Amino acid sequence: MNTELSNFAREKLKEQLALLPESNQMIFKRMYSHEDLNKNIDDVVDDMDDSQLDWAMKQVYASILKMKGKKEGTK
């Protein structure tokens, strides 16, 4: 992944993670920073390997959709 795409993906991940509750952010930390769960969520994203970004973005997006569905009273 080129640097520009990597930086864009990281910024989008940070924006989307900020929309999620702390419990979801902790799950993200367990997956991508299991050795340091106290690390700031932005630092977790910055330290991720480029190869993890695509899947992480899909996971976070799915979590946002699920959360919005619960707020709207749907599954």
Q: What is the pLDDT along the chain (75 residues), one digit of tens a residue?
A: 799 999 999 999 999 999 999 999 999 999 999 999 999 999 999 999 999 999 999 999 999 999 888 766 555
pTM for the model: 0.86
CA 20 to chain centre: 9
Q: Which of 67, 70, 51, 61 is nearest to 17 (CA)?
A: 61
